[in-house]
């Protein structure tokens, strides 16, 4: 069976990664009662003896995560290493620094990227060499900050150069509108260009959506409906396995857990048996009709599988309906009112093919599919359900509903960037042969308008970085614009009558 | 003469298992409506074709399990071993660690050449075990990557390596929607390649079988296992031993070869379909009796009206008056009114089988003008009942039955191809737009040929 390696970058990436490993261990512990190192475990874990030598068969000695942990601060990684998961990682899998990337994509990508390249390649190689068939890298990062966004996308390039055959799945956490990082639009747009060009599949996540889902789960718990009980030892959000649980649990822990669950469900069919398997390489094959349109909107249902609660099970069909509702998407999007290019339903547990077929039949009339893929459904059935539940569904949609997220990002970028543009208008009245860089330095003394000053100062921080040119910004934003345009072109076909293409004519 | 079954991919392996299991359960069925002695001969004949004996006296299936991914094969081997009735050979499987990812091109152009030698050696070793080889039965789906892509590659290789053996592909036709998004591309590529190297394609449509599970077998929550068991029953009804002639009580030596001879008179036409009657839940069998006349009347109407099961048959459809040209030419996308046959093979099993009157199938109006019913129709009768059915009939036919599904698949694939969607996934592994066009041409040709019967 093929293996996967998780590359977690930056604070957000490492926090999610940590939740993921915790959940993965629990899931395997509940399925694998005999303590034998089996193929399913092999997917994400090595089994090593006391001397650190890998063992391919037999009893579980010590499990090591197939992971590379990278952060340019120490905080989160240190917390992991002091927490209950410490034995799952060893120091050879880590790269840390103390200085941080200062929420600056350019520092992460250009400075730390070139500085750590060799070390990154070496750690990746080591991890890859422990796999007998490496199929997939899962990169987890956020878009708004400096390390995850900058160094994360740098690593994506490295992965493509060094392991061109291995799939690159990226889980990207997009900043919410009211992000406390002012430069997050810059970072995100610069990172988007890299995702466009170097990822096989991107699973965008928005913090706002995660927050809404967590609120909804809390509401469920507090609703006091008969039969609703808080589980004491539930798998899912009890997160003491990961980062040590503090008295005041941050909402982020629950939010990160949702993303960790997404990865768990995404890989369940390639780890466990089922009557209709779905290997990871089938995801991009079925869901990516054109190379750049590789952004997949995900939803997880039923929600209570994400919570520590026992809720009286609803009808199975409700699980399918919810998966298409905008309230259940992991980004702020409404797939029902946009255009589907393709859709995958990854089902776990006690569900049969007839249940899937019935629900597709029931739901498809309320969904719009692109003219050339009217029956764009991919399904899988994994017989092992999530721990403590009877069934679950992960829906992945290649749908034009991601467009608003990208447009919003672009607008926020432009709002920040335009301020700079207006500076240039003023400067055009002045000396013409000054370079942009010196101009900016010069201007930063002259202009006192607060906002202008702020935005210039930010831009200045980027342009200070070696090999970071103004063109990086313009190229990034035009890459984003052309992606949005591709979605636009598809969107205009929505609702148009479908023409059969004229077929080949055979002369007899 | 032996038949080597090649189980390919998840679907092929799951169905292969059910086929052998069905056959074995049938062999041990004491309600075979025949004497112990007769049953022993029946068993011996079945084993001669499909099983080996080893020291343990548990029959070993003459099958090879091939997948590019290990999970399904290890599960299948285990299930067979646990059945206690039969098992797979110890070294009869080949798997890799990473599947074809639903990509026909990956199965055909990457896995195929890479594992050609190992797989062909495996097959050769299997073939050398027997005195005489009749041919191969390859079970594969068209939707995925391994069954379809590697299946097409292997079929071609087998044709080259065993030019005198029969090759029959058991093709699992995907559901119209909901399995694999690129299934229409994969199907078009598979069918066009198989058409060049296979002797016959016996098609099993998931949608049809699913409906049989729902309507005839009364299964509420239908699983793949249910679907596969119906397919296994249908295949068993054809390939379990049959008398070679009506009065000899000798079993047929070469069922695969005889079937091809009967059904594929022209290389342009090799799409075969299967209809069975009756089909019902096992626990209803005890309360039901059948008469041959009724069964055959239904089966004939199923054939000419192209009904896939005995429920919902259109009794209005009648053969055109012989001698007169058909009023309208068949068009593939219209609902077929009358299903013209090239050839039919009727297999009857059970009580009073010799009293069954098959005259209705010998009407020249059922067939094309270029074949006489005496050449186009063939029947095999066997006294022993099959799979607990006191009387049962299976009809394998080479007819226009597949026109609509085939045309639909080609049409959907063509619409997608016009937008160039997903094509990059194939060119990545060496299947170019030209190759697609070639395949489309082959299939349009097949559609046109069957239309013009």
Q: How far apart are the first and last CA of chain B?
A: 34
Task: Based on the fold, state whether residues B244 and B120 are members of the same structural domain.
Answer: yes
Band the pLDDT of A252: cuts 50, 70, 90.
Answer: confident
Instruction: State whether B97 and A133 contact (CB < 8 Å).
Output: yes
Task: Based on the fold, state whether residues B243 and B94 are members of the same structural domain.
Answer: yes
Omega before residue A302 within 30° of 0, cis: yes
**CATH (domain of B29):** 3.40.50.1440
Give the pLDDT confidence of B177-209 residue by residue, as tens digits.
878 999 999 999 999 999 999 999 999 999 999
Question: Across the interface, which of B177, B440, B449 has its CB nearest the CB of A375?
Answer: B177
CB B142 within 8 A of CB B148: yes
Give the pLDDT confidence of B102-113 residue by residue, as tens digits.
999 999 999 999
Which H or E run includes B27? Answer: helix B9-27
List chain A residues with CB under 8 Å of B449: 508
Give the pLDDT confidence of A84-125 residue by residue, as tens digits.
999 999 888 999 999 999 999 999 999 999 999 999 999 999
Of A183-197, A222-236, A295-309, give the range with the top mean pLDDT. Answer: A183-197
Give the pLDDT confidence of B386-424 residue by residue, as tens digits.
999 999 999 999 999 999 999 999 999 999 999 999 999
Q: For residue A352, what are the β-bridge partners?
A: none
Chain B interface mutation, best of A134, A279, A380, highest count of B Cβ atoms under 10 Å: A279
Band the pLDDT of A221: cuts 50, 70, 90.
Answer: confident
Task: Based on the fold, state whether residues B24 and B148 are members of the same structural domain.
Answer: yes
Instruction: State the smallest CA–CA distance between residue A399 and chain B in angstroms.
Output: 15
**CATH (domain of A21):** 3.40.50.1440
List chain A residues with CB under 8 Å of B181: 286-287, 342, 373, 375-378
A492 in B contact zone (CB under 8 Å): no
**DSSP 8-state code for residue B372:** -
Count up the domains in chain B and report the number: 3
Instruction: State the smallest CA–CA distance between residue B146 and chain A in angstroms.
Output: 12
**DSSP 8-state code for residue A109:** I
Question: Across the interface, which of A281, A377, A501 has its CB nearest the CB of B178?
Answer: A377
Which H or E run includes A77? Answer: helix A75-82
Chain A interface mutation, best of B67, B97, B207, highest count of A Cβ atoms under 10 Å: B97
Task: Based on the fold, state whether residues B36 and B178 are members of the same structural domain.
Answer: yes
Question: Which residue from A500, A435, A444 is spatially nearest to A469, judged by alpha carbons?
Answer: A435
For residues B189-203, one letter each, b for 16 or more C-beta atoms within 10 angstroms of the residue's C-beta and e for the rest, the string is bbbbbbbebbbbbbb
Question: Which residue from A202, A198, A193, A144 is spatially nearest to A169, judged by alpha carbons?
Answer: A202
Give the pLDDT confidence of A465-479 residue by residue, as tens digits.
888 888 999 999 999
Give the pLDDT confidence of A271-281 residue by residue, as tens digits.
999 999 999 99
Instruction: Name the residue of chain A whose CA is nearest to B185's CA.
Output: A286
Instruction: Name the residue of chain B whose CA is nearest to A370's CA.
Output: B416
Is A490 among the domain residues?
A: no
Is B285 among the domain residues?
A: no
Is B283 among the domain residues?
A: no
Instruction: Name the residue of chain B whose CA is nearest to A281's CA.
Output: B101
Is A338 among the domain residues?
A: yes
Q: Give the integer Cα–Cα distance in Å for B393 and A62.
A: 59
Question: Across the interface, which of B102, B223, B410 has its CB nearest the CB of A282?
Answer: B102
A390 in B contact zone (CB under 8 Å): no
Instruction: State whether A379 and B176 contact (CB < 8 Å).
Output: no
Band the pLDDT of A423: cuts 50, 70, 90.
Answer: very low
Burial of A411 (C-beta count, 10 Å sphere; 0-12/13-18/19+): exposed
Q: Give the integer Cα–Cα distance in Å for B434 and A276.
A: 32
Count up the domains in chain A and report the number: 1
Phi-psi group of A505: left, alpha or beta (phi > 0 → left; psi -120 to 50 → alpha; rest → beta) = beta
Instruction: State whether A357 and B214 contact (CB < 8 Å).
Output: no
Task: Based on the fold, state whether residues B201 and B77 are members of the same structural domain.
Answer: yes
Model pLDDT, residue A388: 83
* 3-state secondary structure (DSSP) of residue B138: strand
Q: For residue B137, what are the β-bridge partners?
A: B5, B168
Is B284 among the domain residues?
A: no
Tokens linked to B35: 């004497």
Task: Based on the fold, state whether residues B238 and B141 are members of the same structural domain.
Answer: yes
B302 in A contact zone (CB under 8 Å): no
For residues A119-140, one letter each, b for 16 or more C-beta atoms within 10 angstroms of the residue's C-beta and e for the rest, the string is ebbebbeebbeebeebbbbbbb
Backbone angles phi, psi at B424, to 5 degrees: -60, -30
* 3-state secondary structure (DSSP) of residue A274: coil
Is B282 among the domain residues?
A: no
Instruction: State whether B177 and A354 contact (CB < 8 Å).
Output: no
Which H or E run includes B51? Answer: strand B51-52
Q: Give the integer Cα–Cα distance in Å for B343 and B330.
A: 18
Instruction: State whether A1 and B224 contact (CB < 8 Å).
Output: no
Q: Give the integer Cα–Cα distance in Å for A166 and A476.
A: 25
Instruction: State whether B416 and A286 contact (CB < 8 Å).
Output: no
Q: Which residue has tokens 């750690």? A: A123
Percent of chain B with pLDDT over 70: 96
Model pLDDT, residue A448: 41
Backbone angles phi, psi at A488, to 5 degrees: -60, -45
Model pLDDT, residue A220: 75
Instruction: State whether B178 and A282 contact (CB < 8 Å).
Output: no
CB within 8 Å of A251: residues ≥ 6 apart: A211, A214
DSSP string, A292-342: T--B-EEEEESGGGGSSEE-----HHHHHHHTTSGGGBSSS--GGGSEEEE
Tell me the ipTM for this assembly: 0.92
Backbone angles phi, psi at A207, to 5 degrees: -55, -40
Q: Give the integer Cα–Cα distance in Å for A468 and A462.
A: 7
Instruction: Name the residue of chain A whose CA is nearest to B174's CA.
Output: A378
CB A74 within 8 A of CB A116: no
Instruction: State whether A372 and B69 contact (CB < 8 Å).
Output: no
Is A293 among the domain residues?
A: yes
Backbone angles phi, psi at B377, to 5 degrees: -120, 140
Task: Based on the fold, state whether residues B191 and B334 are members of the same structural domain.
Answer: no
List chain A residues with CB under 8 Å of B221: 352, 354-355
Question: Across the interface, which of B181, B418, B421 has its CB nearest the CB of A377?
Answer: B181
Task: Based on the fold, state whether residues B77 and B169 are members of the same structural domain.
Answer: yes
A362 in B contact zone (CB under 8 Å): no
CB A309 within 8 A of CB A231: yes
Q: Give the integer Cα–Cα distance in Å for B203 and B189.
A: 16
Give the pLDDT confidence of B69-79 residue by residue, as tens digits.
999 999 999 99
Task: Based on the fold, state whether residues B134 and B72 are members of the same structural domain.
Answer: yes
Q: Which residue has tokens 């952004």? A: A295
Task: Based on the fold, state whether residues B350 and B251 are members of the same structural domain.
Answer: no
CB B151 within 8 A of CB B138: yes
Q: For residue B392, what are the β-bridge partners?
A: B349
Task: Based on the fold, state whether residues B319 and B191 are members of the same structural domain.
Answer: no
Angle at B145 (CA atoms; ends B140, B146), nearest 5 degrees: 55
Angle at B121 (CA atoms; ends B140, B48), nearest 5 degrees: 65
Q: Which residue has tokens 């009877």? A: A390
Percent of chain A with pLDDT over 90: 69
Give the pLDDT confidence of B214-242 residue by residue, as tens digits.
999 999 999 999 999 999 999 999 999 99
Whether the pLDDT of residue A443 is over 60: the answer is: no
Q: Give the integer Cα–Cα distance in Å for B343 and B398.
A: 5
Burial of A421 (C-beta count, 10 Å sphere; 0-12/13-18/19+): exposed
Tokens linked to B2: 């032996």
CA distances from A425 to A378, A412, A420, A473, A475 (A): 52, 21, 9, 18, 21
What is the extent of the structural domain holding A50? 3-272+281-404
Whether the pLDDT of residue A450 is over 60: the answer is: no
Chain B interface mutation, best of A353, A363, A499, A507, highest count of B Cβ atoms under 10 Å: A353
Instruction: Name the residue of chain B whose CA is nearest to A274's CA.
Output: B72
Q: Give the integer Cα–Cα distance in Å for B206 and B210.
A: 6
Model pLDDT, residue A431: 47
CA distances from A97 to A72, A100, A466 (A): 4, 7, 19
Task: Report A:336-355 residues touching B (Cβ under 8 A).
Answer: 341-342, 352-355
Instruction: State whether A372 and B418 contact (CB < 8 Å).
Output: yes
Task: Based on the fold, state whether residues B207 and B349 are members of the same structural domain.
Answer: no
Instruction: Name the residue of chain B whose CA is nearest to A373's CA.
Output: B416
CB A252 within 8 A of CB A24: no
Query: Stretch A340-363: mean pLDDT, rounded?
Result: 95
What is the extent of the structural domain holding B228? 2-277
């Amino acid at each position: 069976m093929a293996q996967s390696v998780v590359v977690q970058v930056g604070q957000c990436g490492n926090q999610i990664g940590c939740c993921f490993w915790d959940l993965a261990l629990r899931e395997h512990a509940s399925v694998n009662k005999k303590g034998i190192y089996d193929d399913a475990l092999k997917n994400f874990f090595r089994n090593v003896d006391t001397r650190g030598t890998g063992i391919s068969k037999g009893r579980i000695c010590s499990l090591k995560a197939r992971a590379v942990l990278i952060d340019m601060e120490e905080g989160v990684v240190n917390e992991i290493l002091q927490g209950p998961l410490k034995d799952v990682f060893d120091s050879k899998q880590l790269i840390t620094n103390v200085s941080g990337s200062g929420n600056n994509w350019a520092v992460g990508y250009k400075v730390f990227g070139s500085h750590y390249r060799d070390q990154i390649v070496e750690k990746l190689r080591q991890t890859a060499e422990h796999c007998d068939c490496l199929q997939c890298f899962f990169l987890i990062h956020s878009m708004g900050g400096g390390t995850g966004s900058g160094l994360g996308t740098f690593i994506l390039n490295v992965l493509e150069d060094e392991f061109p055959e291995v799939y690159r799945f990226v889980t990207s956490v997009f900043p919410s509108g009211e992000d406390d990082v002012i430069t997050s639009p810059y970072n995100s747009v610069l990172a988007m260009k890299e995702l466009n060009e170097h990822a096989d599949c991107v699973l965008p996540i928005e913090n706002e959506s995660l927050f809404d889902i967590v609120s909804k789960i809390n509401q469920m718990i507090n609703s006091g409906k008969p039969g609703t009980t808080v589980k004491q030892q539930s798998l899912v959000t009890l997160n003491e396995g990961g980062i040590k649980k503090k008295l005041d649990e941050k909402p982020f822990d629950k939010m990160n857990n949702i993303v960790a669950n997404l990865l768990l469900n995404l890989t369940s069919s390639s780890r466990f048996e089922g009557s209709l398997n779905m290997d990871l390489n089938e995801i991009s094959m079925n869901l990516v009709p054109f190379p750049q349109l590789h952004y997949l909107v995900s939803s997880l249902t039923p929600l209570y599988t994400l919570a520590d609660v026992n809720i009286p099970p609803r009808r199975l069909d409700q699980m399918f309906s919810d998966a298409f509702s905008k309230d259940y998407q992991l980004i702020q999007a409404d797939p029902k009112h946009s255009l589907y290019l393709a859709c995958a339903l990854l089902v776990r547990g006690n569900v049969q093919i007839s249940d899937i077929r019935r629900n597709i039949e029931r739901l498809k009339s309320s969904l719009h599919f692109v003219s050339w893929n009217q029956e764009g459904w991919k399904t899988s059935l994994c017989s092992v359900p999530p721990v403590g539940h009877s069934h679950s569904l992960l829906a992945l949609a290649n749908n034009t509903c991601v467009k608003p997220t990208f447009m919003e990002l672009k607008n926020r970028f432009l709002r920040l960037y335009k301020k700079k543009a207006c500076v240039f208008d003023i400067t055009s009245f002045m000396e013409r042969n000054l370079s942009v860089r010196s101009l900016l330095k010069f201007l930063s003394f002259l202009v006192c308008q607060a906002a202008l000053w702020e935005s210039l100062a930010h831009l200045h921080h980027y342009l200070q970085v070696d090999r970071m040119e103004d063109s990086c910004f313009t190229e990034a934003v035009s890459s984003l614009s052309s992606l949005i345009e591709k979605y636009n072109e598809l969107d205009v076909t929505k609702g148009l009558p479908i023409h059969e293409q004229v077929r080949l004519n055979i002369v007899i | 003469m032996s038949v080597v079954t090649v189980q390919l991919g998840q679907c092929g392996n799951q169905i292969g298992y059910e086929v052998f299991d069905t056959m074995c359960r049938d062999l041990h069925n004491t309600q075979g409506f025949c004497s112990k002695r007769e049953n022993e001969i029946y068993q011996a004949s079945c084993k001669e074709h499909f099983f080996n004996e080893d020291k343990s006296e548990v029959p070993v299936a003459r099958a090879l399990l091939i997948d590019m991914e290990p999970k399904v094969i290890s599960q299948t081997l285990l299930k067979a071993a646990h059945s206690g009735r039969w098992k797979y050979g110890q070294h009869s499987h080949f798997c890799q660690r990473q599947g074809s990812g639903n990509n026909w091109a990956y199965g055909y152009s990457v896995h195929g050449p890479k594992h050609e030698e190992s797989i062909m050696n495996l097959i050769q070793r299997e073939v050398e075990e027997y005195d005489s080889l009749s041919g191969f039965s390859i079970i594969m789906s068209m939707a995925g990557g391994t069954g379809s892509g590697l299946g097409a590659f292997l079929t071609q290789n087998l044709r080259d390596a065993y030019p005198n053996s029969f090759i029959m592909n058991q093709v699992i036709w995907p559901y119209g929607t909901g399995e694999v998004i690129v299934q229409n591309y994969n199907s078009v590529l598979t069918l066009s390649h198989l058409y060049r190297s296979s002797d016959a394609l016996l098609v099993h449509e998931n949608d049809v079988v699913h409906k049989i599970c729902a309507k005839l077998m009364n299964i509420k929550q239908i699983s793949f296992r249910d679907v596969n068991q119906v397919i296994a029953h249908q295949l068993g009804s054809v390939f379990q031993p049959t008398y070679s002639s009506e009065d000899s009580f000798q079993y047929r030596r070469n069922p695969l070869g005889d079937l091809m001879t009967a059904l594929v008179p022209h290389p342009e036409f090799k799409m075969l379909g299967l209809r069975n009657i009756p089909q019902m839940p096992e626990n209803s069998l005890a309360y039901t009796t059948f008469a041959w006349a009724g069964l055959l009347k239904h089966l004939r109407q199923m054939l000419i009206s192209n009904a896939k099961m005995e429920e919902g048959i259109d009794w209005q459809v009648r053969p055109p008056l012989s001698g007169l040209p058909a009023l309208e030419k068949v068009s593939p996308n219209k609902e077929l009114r009358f299903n013209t046959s090239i050839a039919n093979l009727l297999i009857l099993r059970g009580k009073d089988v010799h009293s069954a009157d098959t005259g209705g199938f010998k009407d020249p109006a059922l067939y094309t003008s270029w074949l006489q019913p005496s050449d186009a129709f063939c029947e095999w009768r066997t006294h022993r009942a099959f799979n607990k059915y006191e009387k049962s009939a299976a009809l394998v036919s080479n007819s226009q039955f597949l026109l609509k599904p085939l045309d639909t698949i080609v049409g959907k694939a063509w619409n997608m191809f016009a937008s160039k969607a997903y094509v990059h996934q194939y060119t990545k592994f060496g299947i170019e737009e030209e190759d697609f066009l070639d395949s489309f041409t082959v299939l349009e040709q097949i559609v046109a040929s069957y239309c013009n019967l």
